[in-house]
Amino acid sequence: MAQNQQDTQRTVMILLGVVVVLLVAIVGIVIYTGQQKSAPVAAGTGTTGVASSPTTSTGQPTQANPGMAPSTAASFDAKTATKVPAAMTPDKYVASYYQSILDKKFDVAFRMQPATSQQGTVADFQATQQGYGMKSFKVVSSNIAADTATVDIEQDLGTNGTWGALWTLKKVGGDWFVESRKISMK
């Protein structure tokens, strides 16, 4: 009888070990497939195919995608920053950027980006935006606190999912300037 109990306990321990190994494998697969889906598909420059748009761990597009360079607030300088027209509020400016993309006014939208994002050419930017396939956008929230404004946007990229962008603008001497844009998958 004691031998039967030992055999039963050994069997239970082996089964528990198998369950743990299977759970670890499932978690690994989920993490791996989640990373594979973390970037929207964008048209490759100068090719007829479609290539994935690489991103950093924070969801920011990498420099490998010249049509959508990442933007950070690390080196904001009002002298070189993109200036918001005097008649526009920060939320209207950001909404106008996305509307320009929907209206296929890529040259206008390109110049509205944060200055640090205006790398590459308008053609690169256009190819990237067309590859993303934005169907619509909405302003999720807009907040102005003293000399800083934030505008949170949500974009429907169709088969590429829903993406967000958090724009930060700074007010300097009565004028608004685009400080940064952080992009993330929702």
Residue pLDDT, tens place only, 129-169? 999 999 999 999 999 999 999 999 999 999 999 999 999 99
The kind and range of the H/E element at 2 are helix 2-36
Report yes or no on 53 lying in a domain: yes
> Domain range for residue 137?
37-185
In sequence order, what are the residues at sequence separation of 6 or more whose Cβ sits closer than 8 angstroms to the Cβ of residue 140? 152, 153, 154, 164
What pTM, to 2 d.p., does this model score?
Answer: 0.64
pLDDT at 45: 33
Is 11 part of a structural domain of the chain? Answer: no
Residue 29 lies in a domain: no
DSSP class of residue 84 equals P
CA dihedral 116, 72, 111, 52 (to 10 degrees): 90
Domain harbouring 73, CATH code: 3.10.450.50
The count of domains in the chain is 1
2-19, pLDDT tens digit by residue?
A: 777 777 888 877 877 777
| Confidence band, pLDDT 50/70/90 cuts, at residue 74 | low
Question: Residue 3 domain-assigned?
Answer: no
* 106 domain residue, yes or no: yes
77 within some domain: yes
- The string of DSSP letters for 6-66 reads HHHHHHHHHHHHHHHHHHHHHHHHHHHHHHHTSS-EEEPTT-SSEEE--B-TTSPBPTT-T
Let me know if residue 110 belongs to a domain: yes
At 17-58, the pLDDT tens digits run 777 776 666 766 767 665 544 444 433 333 333 333 434 444
